[in-house]
Amino acid sequence: MNKDLPVIIRKVFSNLDPLIWQGIWLYTLEMLLNDPRMFNVWEEFVEVLKNKHLKGSNLKLNQYMKWELKAFVAQIVEFRNKHADTSGKSKELSDFLSNYFAKKEIDIDETHNLIKITSKIICA
């Protein structure tokens, strides 16, 4: 795993369960972890999650981060499963992720780098 990724990202996505993290799950995760455009985006996302956690959560910070980071990847996999060909569907993925974060009351909208860059990478 790339050493430029935030420590929490490396920690959460190392030693993954091979029963879950295979096929489209693993491929999607590797796209997001290996693309250099995501390095700063992951850092921004970690900060957003830390701030959200401070507003109230029953989970410890590390568990909360693990849960939310994996849930984010799961949302992208869900989108990819619904759209056999994601080419040119950047706007649809942006809207999908914006709705997801809005439901979770996480302060990220379609203008946030997390959504813009993730959509570009996944829908290239």
Residues 6+ apart with CB under 8 A from 30: none
How confident is the model at residue 108, as a pLDDT?
86
| DSSP assigned state of 58 | S
Kind plus residue range of the DSSP H or E element containing 122: helix 113-122
Which residue type, as a one-letter code, is found at position 15?
Answer: N
Low-confidence ranges of the chain (pLDDT < 50): none
Q: Buried b / exposed e across 73-106, counting CB within 10 Å, b at 16+?
A: bebbbebbeeeeebeebbeebbebbbebbeeeeb
For the chain, give every domain's residue range.
7-122
Output the pLDDT for position 59. Answer: 93
- Kindly report the pTM of this predicted structure: 0.91
* Both structure tokens of 95: 């809207």
3-state DSSP of 8-51: HHHHHCCCCCCCCCCHHHHHHHHHHHHCHHHHHHHHHHHHHHHH
> For 45-64, b where at least 16 C-beta lie within 10 A, e where not — what string?
bbebbeebbeeeeeeeeeeb
Residue 74: what pLDDT?
96
pLDDT of 12 reads: 95
